Structure formats: structure tokens, C-alpha cells
Amino acid sequence: MITNEADSLTENKPLEKRGLGYYWVFGFATGIFALDQFTKWLTENNLGPYGSGKQTEVLEGLIIFRYVKNTGASFSILQNAPWFFTLVASLASIGIIFWYIAKGTNDRWYQFCVAMLLAGAVGNLSDRLFKNGAVTDMINLPWAEIFKNFNVADVSLNVGVATLLLVTIFRSLRENRDNSTKSDNI
């Protein structure tokens, strides 16, 4: 029977014996979470108090660090619904953890995606729970207005989603090519 990488994500196989190497995902996610929290702490302590108007330009203004409180989603969209995003981030974080422990994957690319998604969800969830529903954003790219203000957790979430999409697309294309080649040889 021929299976592909994506099938291994959904197949109901008995759990294999997993060594510590399987759980590197949680260590990596913890590192990204720590970086996110550290950058937020630096921002709050060096550019605060909130609303002070302080900012720092880097690379001749290509990147601006500015302390912003965001009650919306990534890149300051859908403002004023912090309870909704707290619920979504909580469910996503718990779901990712339970899925990975119960079922998971041995595919390193998918593991990377899991780590990035978990780190981003927990990073912003932490702010929502302990900072009155608002997330600390600090990075602004004035030359890319679509991004507004964001933080390390937002980057982690977006890299996780983009990588997941790219890996899935490329593997699907490769599988289709391989299946086409096999059927041509029959």
C-alpha cells in the first residue's frame, strides 16, 4: 500500500514508542515563546508607558519599534473582540498540544509547523490573559502598510501557516507527479 506524508497525519495507527527527540517541538515552541515574551518585555520597559509616543527606528527607518496595544488579531485586524481571540487561542493551543501528544507526526516539516503555531498561539494568549485582553505589538514596517504592527508571536503564527501550506502543496504536487509517472509505466 502506498501512503504519502499527509496520510500519516490522519492515519489511526497505534502510537509508536516515542523518544525525547519526538518532543523537540515543545522545546522549540518554548524558545519562540520566550523570545516573544522577552521582546514584549523590552518594548514595555524601554518604549513605555503605553501611549508615550516613544519609538526607535532601525536600518534608517525600514523597521520602527513602537509600543502598541492590540485587542484584535494579527497585524491589528478585527479590533475590540479580545474575548473571542482569547477563546480561539486557548482552544487552538490545547488542541495542538493534545493532537500532537495523542497522534502527532514524525515528519520534521509538519513538526516545525506545529511548533511555530503553538508558540504563536501561546505567546499572544499569554498577553490576552495577563494584560487585560490586549497583546503587545511593537514591530512596524512603514514600507509595508498591510502589516501595521505585529510581534514575534504573530510572525511565528504566520510562518507556521505559510510553511504548512507550502509543504502540503509541494507534497501534493510531488505525489501527483509520482502517481502520474507510475501510471505511465504500467
The one catalytic residue in 7, 36, 127, 154 is 154
* CA 176 to the chain's CA centroid: 29
Q: How many residues does the chain have?
A: 186
> Are the beta carbons of 108 and 32 closer than 8 angstroms?
no
Question: Which ranges in the chain belong to alpha helices (H)?
Answer: 7-10, 24-46, 82-102, 108-130, 152-185
CA dihedral 41, 44, 45, 47 (to 10 degrees): 140
154 is catalytic: yes
Sequence-distant (≥ 6) Cβ neighbours of residue 153 within 8 angstroms: 32, 33, 36, 119, 120, 121, 122, 123, 124, 127, 135
Q: What are phi and psi of 70, to 5 degrees?
A: -120, 120
7 is catalytic: no
Question: What are the angstrom distances between the C-alpha of 137 and each of 9, 28, 56, 119?
Answer: 33, 22, 14, 16
The one catalytic residue in 36, 107, 127, 137 is 137
Q: Which residues are catalytic?
A: 137, 154
